[in-house]
Amino acid sequence: MIAPQRLCVKFYFEELSVDVDTFIPVFHRWIREDVVSNEMLLDVADYKHILDGPAIFLIGHEADYVVDFTDGKPGLLYVRKRDAGPSLSDALGTTLTQALNGVKLAENDVELAGKLKLRTDGATIVLLDRLSYPNASSNGDGVSSAADAAQAQLAENLTALFGSDATLTRVANDEREPLTFELNAPSAPNVDTLLSQLESVN
Amino acid sequence: MSNIGWKDVLSDDMPVELAHEIDIFEGQMELMGQGKLDEKVFAETRLRRGVYGQRYDNGQRHDGFESRELAFEELERFKGPDTLWHAPGMQRIKVPSGGLTPKQLDVLAQVADEYSDGILHITTRQDIQLHFVHIEDTPDMMRRLASVGITTREACGNSVRNVTCCHLAGVCRTEAFDATPYSNAFADFLLGHDDVQDFGRKFKPAFSGCESEACGLVMMHDLGYLAQIQEVDGKPKRGFKVFVGGGLGTVPHQAKVLSEFTPEEEILPQAQAVSRVFARLGEKRNRNRARIKFLVAKVGIEEFRRLVEEERKTLPHDDRWTAYLDTLPHYEEKPTRPPTFLNGQVGSSEFNQWFETNVYSQRQDGYSVVTVNLPLGDLTSKQTWELADVARKYVGDNVRSTVEQNIVLRWVSDSDLPNLYEELKAIGLGDAGAGTIVDITACPGTDTCKLGIASSRGLAGELRTRLTVKSASLPDAIKDLKIKISGCFNSCGQHHVSDIGFFGNSRRSGNFKMPHFQVVLGGMWRENAGSYGLAVGAVPSKTVPEVVDVITNRYVEERSKGETFQEWIGRIGKKEARSMIQPFMKLPDFEQQPEFFSDWGDPRVFSLGDIGIGECAGEVVSLFSMEISPAESEAFEAQVALDENDPARADAMAYSSMVKAARALVRTQFLDVGDSPDRIVEEFKSRFFDTELFFDQYAKGKFGQYLLDRHNNPNPNPDNDSAHRLIEEALLFIEATHVCESKVGGNVLIEI
């Protein structure tokens, strides 16, 4: 299965006790110190005036990091825009690795440490590609749709990483919205373990 | 999966012509990639498809300490001069008359989240802009937009830009008639027309239904149409009062009347004639004087009118001039629901507050227009399709964008208002305060614009937050004031036509630059942008919220009954107006208040490139700083003279201020220049103008030329208009001397 145009993963905050403005100087410093390997960071965009939406963007060439409050669920959203690899599995590996790296950077940042914690026992995964992965409802003729196939592939990859009890549920959102899945992983390992597992897979 | 692309999937949904144009553009991208197309030609080509540059696309970014190279791949590959192929850009999407349908909103939302940062931004010309878009995604984006009847053609470049129209047209209580079908016919007729392909600069048209409201802002447009009904042979006849040569930009011009009444069947051929005259006689080499306003000012409105009339006689007949008139009797908007009435229903206090500011009662009984107040003109993809669903339910296709960066839902049946409010609130779009002091307009500024000097959006966000907190307790007198902010002198935030306007610039304090905003007071939004405000002085960006408080408090205290802000500013005079902000004009040292040296929402130190080495900050000031100050005072005196209706003195003072500023600059290199204006101008020209040291990166020699033009061709009989323009030019010239001095680095210091 080919990589989607864009692949996103959002990990949720278990704790967030800093004002969202705090991320602006932090992200500028990340750019200046070039803290993300294999990605070029470009700029910071402030959209905190939008209610219940993306608040602060760290815009990059390959990916964006977003402090996101959509649906009242604060989290760190990673949007992989390019060079994620040729296949859906490759793209998932790249996206998860970089997203978790972003989680680690945020949790250990000198200005954020102790003030935020992200959980790994759940995440939202979005395939932003309505051409290859339309969010169409099942046609009921028994033929596997791109959405079903993607779900099967992602579930296989994710259970290998997050534990055999991990489940991936398709979100019943509107067809205009992108294909979206919720990961529930009650026995998910911590960030470092996940990263080392991803490294060994890659 | 297969190799099927959007081109194949949408082949039956796209108009053939649009599909073909996009294929051609894709081919040009390919040629550019192969090095077979000239860089400048491709740049204009992509601009005419709305594919615009964005900040840092030259591959350089200042990180607060130093300018660093952004390591895009293929650094040798460009999409225009100094514009890297792989750097993200902006996509402007034309929305003629601001008209949008739910289906179009759905697709706009989808392309925004797949190709940009997922934010749709409404502009001050009813367009939609997406940012951080990669050029290689643009053909497919255009195809998806084309499939719902949207084109990006001629959204940028030297072309006829989006045709704007009052968002209330058709439902307005004071309009002569609905200008919308005329505006749409105009847009269709001139889109891609042969006679609009050879302009020296962009060309912005606007339509308005009535004279007294803001509506289409026709007075600040290249070509403006004001609906009129005249009696001809005892019968009412539709037509337009036509204005030409208006514009904001660096030096604002009020439009002149081209025709008191152009009958409806003549507006398209007349526009074609105007286009031909502009293409033939408009400036082509110097883009700073290439807008039609300069041509009108140069030849005079009478001669321009004669040229247009002569041109009109030569035009070969075109059936399209009048074909659309046959459809007018059938033109109507269909409400989704029957008219109903609120009948005194009691709403929550929140609803009542929203109702007071965001609901306009239509001329058609039982219907209202609801303004969706978008903070800074932004909405997310998710909000966009949620809004599309709200529109489907309540108003169908009757959605429009506005020049105040909002969206309106028209034909809301009145009894639906409470439910509609709740549904908007549920998707984060229920903010009250539309059209009031909290509904601040701002251009993109330093967030994404290559020309931005200061953070207009950062400032707008800060002011919006502060004013919203106290909005309930704001005195009525100031609730409806307009605040508009531009990130630079180019006026995209329309600061000239607001009560309180700001445009970004910078000043030096010690060895550091500090973001500033020029304060522009007393512009008029009503009467189609009836008059422009004048700059009264520049204040540090971080003081602006306090400056707004001081100005508005003073207005509340001193205004007489019914006196508008503009009338009050006129009464107290610009000198007194300046005195209000004077206490804020003193610049602190970096060590005292470092926060003044970064902009709103951007913690980077503002331009560290100007840090000198070895200077003893705080104990010395440059000779330039000492000498530029009198030049600024003189420019201000020129404004006072204009207020006193003394254009000759205003003209002389404005000129003198430019000479003084030039002298201050020359003396950074040549102390003995003396006081003779001839000598000063000669030295300025040879040292700074001819060497291009004075040139702005984008405006080039424009600001220096202002001094040279006035020096070589003094106006023997200046009137208020010409003096006003010269003052604006003097202010820009002085700004440019600051920039030049910072760039070149003054080396003459004196002790104080």
Same domain, B397 and B445: no
Residue of A1, A5, A42 lying closest to B114 (CB–CB): A5
| Nearest-CA distance B382 → chain A (Å) | 8
Helix B544-558 crosses helix B456-469 at what angle (to 10 degrees)? Answer: 50
In a domain, A1, yes or no: no
Q: What pLDDT, on a 0 to 100 scale, did the predictor assign at position B615?
A: 19
Same domain, B453 and B591: yes
Residue of B110, B131, B379 lying closest to A176 (CB–CB): B110
Q: What pLDDT, on a 0 to 100 scale, did the predictor assign at position A139?
A: 61
Q: What pLDDT, on a 0 to 100 scale, did the predictor assign at position B213?
A: 81
Q: Are B43 and B79 in contact (CB under 8 A)?
A: yes
Residue of B63, B117, B379 lying closest to A57 (CB–CB): B117
In a domain, B10, yes or no: yes
Q: What pLDDT, on a 0 to 100 scale, did the predictor assign at position B2?
A: 58
Cβ of B385 within 8 Å of Cβ of A174? The answer is yes
In a domain, B708, yes or no: yes
Q: What pLDDT, on a 0 to 100 scale, did the predictor assign at position B730?
A: 93
Looking at B552, B581, B597, which one is the last position of a domain?
Answer: B597
Nearest CA in chain A to B114: A128
Residue A142, CA distances (Å) to A138, A139, A181 in order? 9, 8, 21
Q: What pLDDT, on a 0 to 100 scale, did the predictor assign at position B36?
A: 79
Same domain, B714 and B671: yes
In a domain, A74, yes or no: yes
Cβ of B461 within 8 Å of Cβ of A51? The answer is no
What's the average pLDDT block by block, 10 residues per block, for chain B (752 residues)? 85 95 91 83 89 91 88 92 93 98 98 98 97 97 98 93 97 96 97 90 95 85 96 94 92 93 98 96 84 94 98 96 92 93 84 96 97 98 97 98 97 97 97 96 92 94 95 90 94 94 90 92 89 91 97 95 94 92 92 93 71 27 68 80 89 94 89 88 95 88 95 93 92 90 58 30
Q: What pLDDT, on a 0 to 100 scale, did the predictor assign at position B212?
A: 81
Same domain, B447 and B536: yes
Q: Are B130 and B120 in contact (CB under 8 A)?
A: yes
Residue of A2, A42, A54 lying closest to B56 (CB–CB): A42
Residue B666: domain span: 623-744
Same domain, B236 and B272: yes
In a domain, B161, yes or no: no
Answer whether residue A36 shows pLDDT above 90: yes
Chain B neighbors of A70, CB-CB under 8 A: 380, 382
If one counts every other C-beta atom within 10 angstroms of the C-beta of residue B48, the result is: 20
Same domain, B31 and B126: yes
What SS3 class is residue A1? coil
For tokens 């864009």, what's the residue?
A6
Number of domains in chain B: 5
- Residues B514, B512: Cα–Cα separation, whole Å: 6
Tokens for B492, please give them.
């995209």
Q: What pLDDT, on a 0 to 100 scale, did the predictor assign at position A138?
A: 66
Q: What is the CATH number of the domain that holds B731?
A: 1.20.120.330
Residue of A32, A48, A59 lying closest to B65 (CB–CB): A32
Length of chain A: 202
Which residue, among B67, B68, B119, would best test binding to A if mutated, counting the most A CBs under 10 Å from its CB? B119
Tokens for B505, please give them.
């610039």
Residue of B63, B380, B603 lying closest to A53 (CB–CB): B380
In a domain, B105, yes or no: no
In a domain, A11, yes or no: yes
DSSP state of A77: E
Q: Which residues of B228-256 are buried (b: 16+ CB within 10 A; e: fewer)?
A: beeeeeeeeebbbbbbbbbbbbbbbbbbb
The average pLDDT across A191-200 equals: 93
In a domain, B284, yes or no: yes
In a domain, A84, yes or no: yes
Number of domains in chain A: 1
H-assigned helices in B282-416: 292-299, 301-314, 320-323, 349-358, 381-394
Q: What pLDDT, on a 0 to 100 scale, did the predictor assign at position B223?
A: 98
Residue A32 contacts B where some CB pair is shorter than 8 Å: yes
- Residues B701, B683: Cα–Cα separation, whole Å: 16
Same domain, B666 and B527: no
Same domain, B239 and B353: no
The average pLDDT across A74-85 equals: 96
Cβ of A70 within 8 Å of Cβ of B382? The answer is yes
Whole-number average pLDDT of chain A: 94
In a domain, B324, yes or no: yes
**Main-chain dihedrals φ then ψ at residue B300, nearest 5 degrees:** 85, 150
| Nearest-CA distance B516 → chain A (Å) | 20
Cβ of B603 within 8 Å of Cβ of A43? The answer is no
CB-based contacts of B115, cutoff 8 Å, min separation 6: B91, B130, B133, B134, B137, B138, B140, B141
Cβ of A46 within 8 Å of Cβ of B461? The answer is yes
Predicted structure pTM score: 0.88
Q: What is the CATH number of the domain that holds B471?
A: 3.30.413.10
Same domain, B66 and B128: yes
Looking at B300, B330, B360, which one is the last position of a domain?
Answer: B330
| Nearest-CA distance B67 → chain A (Å) | 10
Q: What pLDDT, on a 0 to 100 scale, did the predictor assign at position A41?
A: 97
Size of the A and B interface in Cβ pairs below 8 Å: 99
Same domain, B593 and B452: yes
Residue B689, CA distances (Å) to B474, B701, B745 in order? 49, 7, 16
According to DSSP, the residues that pair with A173 across neighbouring strands are: none
Residue A29: domain span: 6-201
Show which of residues 51-110 on chain A sit within 8 Å of chain B, judged by CB atoms. Answer: 51-54, 57, 59, 61, 64, 70, 81-82
Same domain, B591 and B682: no
Nearest CA to B540 among B490, B501, B499, B505?
A: B505
In a domain, B493, yes or no: yes
Tokens for B495, please give them.
């600061």
Q: Are B462 and B375 in contact (CB under 8 A)?
A: no
Q: Which residues of A58-73 are buried (b: 16+ CB within 10 A; e: fewer)?
A: bbbbbbbbbbbbbeee
Residue of B64, B88, B428 lying closest to A50 (CB–CB): B428
Q: What pLDDT, on a 0 to 100 scale, did the predictor assign at position B231?
A: 92
Question: A4 pLDDT band (50/70/90 cuts)?
Answer: very high
Length of chain B: 752
Residue A36, CA distances (Å) to A27, A200, B55, B281, B495 in order? 11, 20, 22, 54, 40
In a domain, A15, yes or no: yes
How much is the ipTM here? 0.96
Chain B neighbors of A59, CB-CB under 8 A: 88, 117, 132
Cβ of A25 within 8 Å of Cβ of B603? The answer is yes
CB-based contacts of B748, cutoff 8 Å, min separation 6: B622, B623, B624, B667, B668, B671
Nearest CA in chain B to A178: B110
According to DSSP, the residues that pair with A117 across neighbouring strands are: A15
In a domain, B295, yes or no: yes
Tokens for B394, please give them.
């309540």
| Nearest-CA distance B750 → chain A (Å) | 37
Helices (H) then strands (E): counts for chain B: 23, 28
